[in-house]
Chains A and B, each alone.
Chain A
């Protein structure tokens, strides 16, 4: 098991370098001059541009630029935005908020998703199954931003169940419930379907038949034997899903005015604050890689066949 952990950690390194390089490349190399882009339609001030290009090493070859960037990252320096604010500061402010939002969304998708999937999988072909299938289908089809606005309108403004927008700067847990529901809705639908499929498949598996043949009560067959095996693919999905949560947060945070990392990235993109974009996305990537590692370890705990390979 220890060997497995070490191997996974080592694998993370090239991926981390590759991904951050990709981001850096996209932001700084792909379009035109990122500094000039800040000016939009207005004419760029040549002195400013030259100065900034010097400061951000933009005249150096790409590899060198990236090297400066990477070394900075490893020391905790996520860069400084063109307007002078250290990105790390902004992240420190925005991250806890996003984490809270993500936790709420995650909890909802875990509990409701797996619960619904379990129900549908066990009662395959019957009414409960159809209800779950149809509901998840609708949730997947309606884009998050539509769902967000609709729920904000009905639950927030009309019926006043939840606050319609979050307190700027420091949202409370209550503020984050509605955005959490919206953020987690898509993933919830996928988790429910995946659990349903997994349970339905595993119900015909040989080991379930053996457990029944052993005379175990059905409750035990389902909760002890069926569930653990069925949840393995769901766990894999949940790990990858964190990335979807991070991306979806951009939209959700915008709708509900939550000052998290998503909103930070969105604003930075529109204002062409390249350094902030790169810094924030790099931070998210790190979180994502760490989460994947944790999920992989969790997977090894759940499925002993993986451990000794």
Chain B
């Protein structure tokens, strides 16, 4: 299937140009930018338009940032994420109860002044468990995503840039890992270990989750590689490293960023699923997934136990996906 991506990326559907990140040009469709690459700013024919009134040349990254700042989705998701990250780093700011203090005396209490979210079947305060649960989810999400971006990005970039047998081998490797769906592989991986930690989960998801980023980076690099400005750079004598770092990567990385942001959300969901199945984080960690699992047993009588961790989990995943959406729309001029 990597073949199709390769062919598809090179076929034009529109004669409009792609924007160039990292170089100075902004996409022109029917507006001619008076000052884009002007050589004669102060020449005799500048006329009444003083240099100060002319537009500054804007790179595509700056365009994207400007677009992002206009998007309400960006602000909503950024706010929610900031809140969640603070919750993960400083849970003590939000609650002074101990999430692991679970006396039998206070099991299954409904939400009240003492326990805003009630208590669960083991007697733990749900509110504090929900707050503390953010940490595991955020850590897993962020670290796993960082891992797949680095690994997948590297594999994809090398594969796309060098082509030939490097590409063949790396593509086969990618296909092999693609052969097992993420959750299935993570399930089997986790079950092999007796002592599980957060890092086991990160490893499970990271080892089997990098392929999409690799493929996207590969396709992206292939498209960028044959662009005029890369060919020009090579003709001017730039070495491979310089071309890769200064020209190819900045322009190829945009779709990867979008996918990474959305993947973050799916990794958090995956971790919760694994914990729900009892094969994720150990019970010593506070995890939304595990809490949801125990809550399903009392769904009929005490639905609030399911509700709160599910809400927080859903909102967290939603924030990342919303952010990914906003970033993608900001980076893609065609969808404006």
A-side residues, CB < 8 A to B, are 11, 14-16, 18-19, 22-23, 26-27, 30-32, 37, 137-138, 140-146, 149-150, 153, 157, 197, 200-202, 204-207, 229, 232-233, 236, 239-240, 243-244, 246-248, 250-251, 254, 265-266, 269-270, 272, 277, 281, 284-285, 288-289, 292, 295-296, 299, 303, 305-306, 309
Residues of chain A with a CB closer than 8 A to B172's CB: 11, 14-15, 18
Total residues of chain B contacting the partner, CB 8 A: 56
Known contacts A143-B314, A201-B334, A288 near B14 by CB under 8 Å: no
- Min CB gap A195→B, angstroms: 14
Residues of chain B with a CB closer than 8 A to A19's CB: 176-177, 179-180
24 residue pairs A–B, Cβ–Cβ below 8 Å: A11-B172, A15-B179, A18-B173, A23-B188, A30-B193, A31-B192, A137-B325, A141-B265, A141-B321, A143-B289, A146-B314, A153-B299, A202-B13, A243-B180, A243-B184, A246-B184, A247-B181, A251-B277, A269-B187, A277-B188, A284-B181, A303-B8, A306-B4, A306-B7
Cβ–Cβ contact B191 & A306, under 8 A: no
Residues of chain A with a CB closer than 8 A to B317's CB: 140-143
Cβ–Cβ contact A149 & B296, under 8 A: yes
Known contacts A142-B314, A200-B335, A288-B179, A206 near B14 by CB under 8 Å: yes
**Which listed residue (B176, B188, B310) contacts A269, Cβ 8 A?**
B188
Residues of chain A with a CB closer than 8 A to B1's CB: 236, 239-240, 292, 295-296
Complex formed: what's the CA distance from A197 to B177 in Å? 27
Q: Does B123 contact A (CB under 8 A)?
A: no
- Min CB gap B319→A, angstroms: 8
Cβ–Cβ contact A143 & B313, under 8 A: yes
Known contacts A141-B318, A146-B314, A207 near B13 by CB under 8 Å: yes
Give B77-102 as 1s and 0s: 1 = Cβ < 8 Å from A's Cβ atoms: 00000000000000000000000000
List 5 A-B pairs, minimum CB-CB distance, nearest first: A18-B176, A31-B192, A19-B179, A247-B183, A141-B318
Cβ–Cβ contact A30 & B335, under 8 A: no
Residues of chain B with a CB closer than 8 A to A204's CB: 14, 334
Q: Which of B49-57, B103-111, B238-246, B268-276 forms part of the interface with chain A? A: B268-276
Q: Does B201 contact A (CB under 8 A)?
A: no
Give B287-309 as 1s and 0s: 1 = Cβ < 8 Å from A's Cβ atoms: 00100110010011001001000
Cβ–Cβ contact B181 & A206, under 8 A: no
Complex formed: what's the CA distance from A37 to B192 in Å? 9
Complex formed: what's the CA distance from A26 to B273 in Å? 20
Closest to B179 in A: A19
**Which listed residue (A15, A205, A254, A303) contacts B176, Cβ 8 A?**
A15
B-side residues, CB < 8 A to A, are 1, 3-4, 7-8, 11, 13-15, 172-173, 175-185, 187-189, 191-194, 265, 269, 272-273, 276-279, 289, 292-293, 296, 299-300, 303, 306, 310, 313-315, 317-318, 321-322, 325, 334-335
The A interface, classified by DSSP as helix, strand, loop or mixed, is: helix
Residues of chain B with a CB closer than 8 A to A309's CB: 3, 7
Complex formed: what's the CA distance from A48 to B239 in Å? 62
Complex formed: what's the CA distance from A201 to B13 in Å? 9
- Min CB gap A129→B, angstroms: 12
Known contacts A265-B184, A284-B184, A288-B181, A145 near B192 by CB under 8 Å: no
Cβ–Cβ contact A272 & B191, under 8 A: yes
With A22-B176, A142-B310 known, 16 other A-B pairs at CB within 8 A are A15-B172, A15-B175, A19-B180, A32-B194, A141-B321, A143-B272, A145-B273, A149-B299, A153-B300, A201-B334, A204-B334, A250-B184, A254-B277, A277-B188, A277-B191, A292-B1
